[in-house]
Structure 1
């Protein structure tokens, strides 16, 4: 994939999504969403529950398909691509963080970050070295050998950030990444996420209800009636 610093890492054009199409219960969730996110840029996606932000993130991250419109990641248009190609792009170029950490409970923090790398063909020692570096960067290096149940919620979520970054993606998508944490922990965890994003130079689209956190990002867009609108 040949993207340049001037090109957006993520480009969404005319994204539409309808559920129960052609039935009395038809729901038009996305009505032509356009968005570009550049390398090194952190964009807040602000919307109430049920407005479609999770749907948009899933489409952007190739976990779902739009009914119409165009998704480009690092300059590659994904419409019409095989499931295999979409999976390869998602695995190599996209990292996901959710409100709940979804760490594998039977594995340590280190192993949770090593496993995605092994699946991507990285040698074990290199994968472990990267995992330790990521854990250190967000302040939980000393928890590398602990399983999720032995960690606090904030520590678990920071490990989840590291897992999302394991394969050095170009695009990070986060859906309410601090929504399950108390305000003080949320602030610390968000700061760790922003530091990680800034250090790696990837682009990030972060959905949040928290307007204070949104204000700390580079740019804000709001989802209203299935459209994206810039927030001053």
Structure 2
């Protein structure tokens, strides 16, 4: 395998820990994803896939285990260090695009770059490049409400990759789209991922889309099993 961008080892997570109503969600997750690899995460609703993605992306903390991003163990790191790593190394895509409605497509991609200290000129060039890659360069000046659902989600992909992360985490990124649009949007996502060589963990219920990725893993009873 190429260099590991994400490594989870023995990751455990429970809610209401230590109480009578404790609920164990993750029970020893082991998963490694290399640079340039797309991995599909398949799980039924309520199985804990969102919790797994949040821990992998440093939005939540594990009760036990190792969480490495780019070879650095993030367990026990300061909030500041985790925030910096999350902002610079991790891109997120959700089922709903969560674009800022008062800003254009270009501005939605530029803003996270400005927050990371990138100059506006460079940020705008990066936004233009990404929008072109997903085939909607002509929508750069449109606000979200003037774009279709598929176009909005493509902008969300571009925003997630704006700061050139090494790890992409996606939670049902095409789940809110009709089948035809879903296929087109997923193709755009695959092109972005393949073109940048980042590692990607993509949760999906769509088994046809999952089969187009490099590997399929399933989350069952709090553990990862090979699909």
The alignment partner of 1:121 has SS state of coil
Indicate whether 1:146 and 2:142 are aligned. Answer: yes
Corresponding residue of 2:133: 137
Corresponding residue of 1:59: 55
After TM superposition, give the deviation of residue 24 of structure 1 in Å: 2.7
1:65-214 alignment runs, 5 A limit: 65-214=61-210
Q: Distance between the aligned counterparts of 1:145 and 1:157, measured in 2?
A: 16
After TM superposition, give the deviation of residue 76 of structure 1 in Å: 0.5
Corresponding residue of 1:12: 8
After TM superposition, give the deviation of residue 7 of structure 1 in Å: 2.4
1:22-37 alignment runs, 5 A limit: 22-37=18-33
Unaligned runs of 5+ residues in structure 1 are none
Residue deviations 1:171-215 (CA, integer Å, cap 9, x gap): 000000000000000000000000000001101000000101000
Q: Distance between the aligned counterparts of 1:25 and 1:87, measured in 2?
A: 31
Number of positions where the alignment pairs a residue of Structure 1 with one of Structure 2 = 227
Q: Distance between the aligned counterparts of 1:39 and 1:21, measured in 2?
A: 34
After TM superposition, give the deviation of residue 25 of structure 1 in Å: 1.9
TM-score (norm 2): 0.99
The alignment partner of 2:9 has SS state of strand
**Runs of 4+ off more than 3 Å:** none
Q: Distance between the aligned counterparts of 1:23 and 1:14, measured in 2?
A: 22
After TM superposition, give the deviation of residue 22 of structure 1 in Å: 2.2
Residue deviations 1:16-41 (CA, integer Å, cap 9, x gap): 00001222321100000000000000
Unaligned runs of 5+ residues in structure 2 are none
TM-score (norm 1): 0.97
Q: Distance between the aligned counterparts of 2:199 and 2:77, measured in 1?
A: 23
Q: Distance between the aligned counterparts of 2:58 and 2:126, measured in 1?
A: 25
